[in-house]
Structure 1
Amino acid sequence: MSRIAIVGSGYMGGGMAQVFALGGHDVVISDVTAEIAAANLERIRTETAQFEEQGLFAPGATDIITARISAAESIEVAVADADVVEEAVPERIEIKHETLRRISAAAPASAVIGSNTSTISIAALAEAVTRPERFLGVHFSNPAPFVPGVEIIPHAGTDEATIRAAEEIIAGSGKVPARVKDVTGFVLNRLQYALFHEATQLVEEGVATPEDIDAVVRSTFGFRLPFFGPFAIADMAGLDVYAFCYASLQGTFPERFATPAILAERVAAGELGTKTGSGFRDIAPERIAELVAYRNRAYAKMAQLLDELGPSPFDAV
């Protein structure tokens, strides 16, 4: 068990506090004033009780949260004896720099310091951190209690031990850590905004409405994404099929859909995905039937879940 300080107690910070507390850690939250931190603590407790009542948290979650999350009167008090500090203040570099300076000055020299930034360079943020080798990005998605993935983003000077410690705490709290490099937008937002950019172009070109594009995404390739990422999906479709589709798209959009070099290289080498046993994600031939059975079961379960939930308020008539 570690003592974790969350600096910035809004909805993201509060959600992370819930995750860590339910993962077995003692958590202290802080904010620009003691009053804001105390008010957010009450909100966290109220939300937890609601989540437990709705069956979103396990029975007993409210008692755990009440016992393990507290509010500090200042940032300095919150981080004074923390093993891990997670910064979750607004996405402005000057605010984050000032906060990280305060954290660095007050936290133990051994404390791991993470930032929940979604787009700001970790190296740029590290400029405000004393002993920057203990600093890295730890990027949760909203809502933090329910979205499992967390980007772990070291900068060039982050110690390997710091990275491993962050990965272990995230995994031990029931989340899925993914280590990515410190580039603008990291992985999550580069992919998310690439999809959104193409979707807006389809609307601007009059191809489909936002409502119909949303319907296509969530009921076709988006339907697969909870189970398989883009490389696994490509391997199952066949990388030669992908190469052919890129060639077709290039007839109208030669620059927008240029064939990726790493795709062309694999096709040229005869690495066509699942059907050849190697592609972006290798799989032994004897496990292909198991993979197909898993895929079919997963998609059928997803269809059942969506039917059980019914349409979202966006789509309900």
Structure 2
Amino acid sequence: MVTSISSVAVVGAGYMGGGIAQSFALAGLPVTIADVSAETTQAAYARLLEEAREFEDAGLYDAGATDTIRANLTAAASIEEAVADVDFVEEAVFESVEVKHEVLGRISAAARPDTIIGSNTSTIPARVLVTAMTGPERFLTVHFSNPAPFIPGVELVLSEHTDPGVVPVVRELLAKADRQGALVADVPGFVLNRLQYVLLKEAMSIAEEGIASPEDIDTVVRTTFGFRLGFFGPFAIADQAGLDVYAGGFRTFEENFGERLSTPALIQEAVAGDRKGVKNGKGLLRDYTPEQVKALVAYRNKAYGEMGRLLRALGPAPA
């Protein structure tokens, strides 16, 4: 297996695959793209350069970004040509087991034996996709989020056959593109979509019950806890709010909504062990020294203040 990635191929140059290719090319890595045909790939190549210029003109990419992407991006005539001599291949084709199996089979047959191969699937378990591979130890899910040029988080999912040694190599690659990889278990939907779908399901239930309109629900989400999520995840937010406070809230929810909103064992165990979060220096994530608490509160206040300024400067989203 390669121990450092210095060249990339992206198979599937549509909206997601193209954005992934842009991100790696902008990071200075040679990137080759391929799609269903040479003509489709050439059209994608032209679109990606046009999009890059639009992003640069809008100030979303730094000056010179388009030239950097052009210098590092290549369109191949076929999948086999694209993957023949690169260190890493990212498959980003249609979200279908059958389609991905066919493409992953072609990739693994044509790539070098030491090439690491990732899939950008958003829901299909790695154990399902790996069956199409030769050299299954080099395969993992590398799930970017939409829009790929701007969202920094990437889910990494291993099958039971994956060599764990690929993880630091892929994380190093992602860091070059200013991305953060999070290792999660091989379950359908992984973490991102499991959380995202649960939030959407509950939001729709609230609307269906007549508690608030879809517009007002969106306002509550984006202006309250959603406002925090760019800086802190749910565990960090719970530590700051107070785990004993959450335990009391869950008691109210369980009394009114039953088992589905009962107090999680992690909260019960924390409170029973006198772990209340930042307020007493003992949280779910870690223990906090007084100096760390002070720094955390200062960062939080600055972050939220800057977020407020940014939103006021941008104005409301277009309808």
- In 2, the alpha carbon distance for the partners of 1:164 and 1:281 equals 22
69, 77, 90: which one aligns with 1:86: 90
Gaps of 5+ in 1: none
Question: The residue matched to 1:235 in structure 2 has which SS?
Answer: helix
Equivalent residues, number: 314
Which residue is 1:291 aligned to? 296
Which residue is 1:63 aligned to? 67
Aligned positions of 1:168-179 closer than 5 A: 168-179=172-183
Question: The residue matched to 1:298 in structure 2 has which SS?
Answer: helix
Q: Does 1:310 align with 2:315?
A: yes
Counterpart code for 2:151: V
Which residue is 1:111 aligned to? 115
Which residue is 1:49 aligned to? 53
Q: Deviations over 1:87-138 (max 9, x none)?
A: 0000000000000000011000000000000000101100111111100000
Query: Does 273-282 or 22-31 show the bigger shift?
Result: 273-282
133, 150, 153: which one aligns with 1:149: 153
Which residue is 1:6 aligned to? 10
- In 1, the alpha carbon distance for the partners of 2:6 and 2:16 equals 20
Q: What's the Cα RMSD here? A: 0.8
Q: Does 1:223 align with 2:227?
A: yes
112, 130, 135: which one aligns with 2:134: 130
Q: Which has the higher contact order (CA 8 A, sep 6+)?
A: 2
Deviation at 1:256, TM superposition (A): 2.1
Question: The residue matched to 2:85 in structure 1 has which SS?
Answer: coil
Question: The residue matched to 1:255 in structure 2 has which SS?
Answer: helix
Gaps of 5+ in 2: none
TM-score (norm 1): 0.98
Deviation at 1:285, TM superposition (A): 2.4
Which residue is 1:165 aligned to? 169
Which residue is 2:263 aligned to? 259
TM-score (norm 2): 0.97
- In 1, the alpha carbon distance for the partners of 2:29 and 2:127 equals 28
Question: The residue matched to 2:137 in structure 1 has which SS?
Answer: helix
Counterpart code for 1:261: A
- In 1, the alpha carbon distance for the partners of 2:234 and 2:133 equals 36
Deviation at 1:262, TM superposition (A): 1.1
